Structure 1
Amino acid sequence: MDLLKIAASQLGTKEISGSEDNPQIVKYAEESGIIGITNDEIAWCSTFVNWVAKKAGLQSSGSAAARSWTNIGIAVKDPKPGDIVVFWREDPLSWKGHVGFFTGFNKDASIVYCLGGNQSNAVNITGYDAKKVLSYRRISQVDTLSIPQPTLKRRDKGNEVIKLQKLLNFLGYNCGDVDGDFGPKTENALKLFQANNQLTVDGIYTSETLNTVESLLQS
């Protein structure tokens, strides 16, 4: 089950006014292992994102702080639905922020639509000023993303090719089925990755490509 489906299943969950608490919001913290969220009055946007990520078996920040997500996954410039989006709040240099799941832009990309928790005290889709985005992040399955070793090229087969295909798909370069067969789709996806990162565009996975991949994954 993907991130957006899990997050969307919670649409409409909202805080209960007064002294009562919505047990589902408290549950987000309990099941995410986040300490300190004992009622629905405490900011819970990051707690919600952690809960969804854990349900999906993906990386999580383990923190109730929205900006903790700027260190999780990899930074992406061209977000896709389901990517994490982190915003600054009040001041770009403050500790305050907001985090949710990217769902799209408006026509001129000035508004970022975000499916998240603690948005007007509820789980909903809300538009935010794109100028307040700190980072778009793409998270992966826990302990399943490995960096393949070079050199790999067309007609190669095996586990290292599987690693490459998983990596390309994760980075947004669709190479089709992860089957361990370095065919034309994998080659074309790799060429596009190389072109977008100012590398030699030859469709061969070399040390040059490896170094760029490592840099991206550490960003």
Structure 2
Amino acid sequence: MKPFDIARSYIGTTEGLGPADNPVIMEMYASVGHDWVEHDSVAWCAAFIGHCFERAGIRSTRKLTARSYLDWGVPVEVVDAQQGDIGVIPRGNSNWQGHVFFIDRIEGAWVWGLGGNQDDAVTVKRFPVSKLLGVRRAGNVAPAVTLSVTAVQQRLKDLGYHEVGQIDGSMGPRTRAAILAFRNDNDLALVPIIDVALTEALEHATPRDIAPERASGVPTDSRIMTAANAQIGLGVIGAVGSIGSQIAPALMEAEEARDMASRVFTLIGLENWLSVSLPWIGAAVFIGVVFYALRAKAARIDDHRTGKTP
């Protein structure tokens, strides 16, 4: 979508009532790198414009000052202004304050602007053309640098946020949870979105810290650990029992049955071999169970100590 079309989709968005803040507007601050803003009462016309450009893949000024757009893109004469261009007008009595909006149309002495923070909402409002400080167009503005969902998932996993789950490119609940955990650890706004602030933080982040007690501990509430311990116990008992026995149950049943198979074994001399080998075969099976249970237990402990599991 074009930035202007994205902007139109927000028409009607208003600031939160009373002390409440509209999370949509808070997301706009965050998407241009200003997730430190705590309330939507902070002037957000430039955040709105920047958010629309960033969503369209065009780098904004990433500033909250409206006049920052006077040095952005390429200049356009007022008579050549088109829908979707950027208009900047003064606000207040200082030479740094201003208001920025998308130009919807120019009719005579009036310019109709689609902007945020216009009567505390996203609206289309008219302003005198004579007030325009400048009109700008994206031109050859550098593309916005944001990561794909897949890239964010991989980076989070590399940093130790294994709750992200599978690397599948889907913005599911596990990915959102990992993003929130990373944002919390890095003092970013707690919004589960991929924005400029998140992208830059991921680029410079160091691996997640593991608490000392976790790094040397073992999981206490794990079905894998419980099952592994049970398998180890049963495997040891089974191995000892197999080695200690002289005649395997299967061979005893075969002798009692005196069926054709037993006669064949006796005829070719396998009965004695089986009576000796079966206990050791059984022991080998039980030892194998113990071995794999120990591996599963060790892997679970390693996952716990490295933070791969909750």
Same fold (TM over 0.5): yes
> Which amino acid counterpart does residue 88 of structure 2 have in structure 1?
V
- Cα distance in 2 for partners of 1:140, 1:58 equals 10
Structure 1, residues 195-216: CA drift from partner, whole Å, max 9, x if none? xxxxxxxxxxxxxxxxxxxxxx
Could you tell me which runs of 5 or more consecutive residues in structure 2 were left unpaired when the two chains were aligned.
144-310
- CA drift at 1:130: 1.1
Over 3 Å counting, the alpha-carbon distance change for 1:59 and 1:140 in structure 2 is: farther
* Pairing of 1:30-179 with structure 2 (within 5 A): 30-77=30-77, 78-91=80-93, 94-106=95-107, 108=108, 110-140=109-139, 142-143=141-142
Moved more, 36-45 or 64-73: 36-45
Q: CA offsets, 1:144-191, max 9 Å, x none?
A: 7xxxxxxxxxxxxxxxxxxxxxxxxxxxxxxxxxxxxxxxxxxxxxxx
Please state which structure has a larger fraction of its residues in helix. Answer: 2
With normalisation by structure 1, the TM-score equals 0.61
How far apart are 1:36 and its partner, in Å? 4.2
* Aligned position for 2:212: none
- Aligned residue for 2:3? 3
1:106-159, Cα deviation, whole Å (9 max, x unpaired): 2x2x11100010000000100011111111000146547xxxxxxxxxxxxxxx
Aligned letter for 2:84?
G
Report the Cα offset of residue 59 of structure 1: 2.9
> What count of residue pairs does the alignment treat as equivalent?
141
- Segments of 4+ moved more than 4 angstroms: none
CA distance in 2, matches of 1:142, 1:130: 25
Between the two proteins, what is the percent identity of the paired residues? 35
Question: CA 1:80–1:15 in 2, change beyond 3 Å: closer, same or farther?
Answer: same
Q: Distance in 2 between matches of 1:66 and 1:141?
A: 20
C-alpha separation in 2, matches of 1:50 and 1:84: 11
Pair member with larger Rg: 2
* Partners of 2:90 and 2:131 within 8 A in 1: yes
The separation in 2 between residues aligned to 1:101 and 1:30, in whole angstroms, is 20
Change (3 A) 1:36 1:9: same
2:73–2:141 contact (8 Å) kept in structure 1: no
Is this contact kept in 2: 1:58–1:141, CA < 8 A? no
C-alpha separation in 1, matches of 2:59 and 2:41: 26
Counterparts of 2:34 and 2:121, CA distance in 1: 19
Given that 1:59 and 1:140 are in contact with CA atoms closer than 8 Å, whether structure 2 keeps it comes out as: no
Determine if contact 1:59/1:141 at 8 Å carries over to the other structure. Answer: no
> Hey, which of these two has a bigger chunk of strand by percent?
1
State the alpha-carbon separation in 2 of the partners of residues 16 and 60 from structure 1.
25
Q: One-letter code of the match for 1:121?
A: D
1:44–1:118 Cα contact (<8 Å) kept: yes
Conserved 8 A contact 1:28-1:51: yes
Q: SS of the counterpart of 1:103?
A: strand
Task: Please list every run of 5 or more consecutive structure 1 residues that lacks an aligned counterpart in the other structure.
Answer: 145-219
What's the Cα RMSD here? Answer: 1.5
Q: Are the equivalent residues in 2 in contact too, given 1:59–1:73 (CA < 8 A)?
A: no
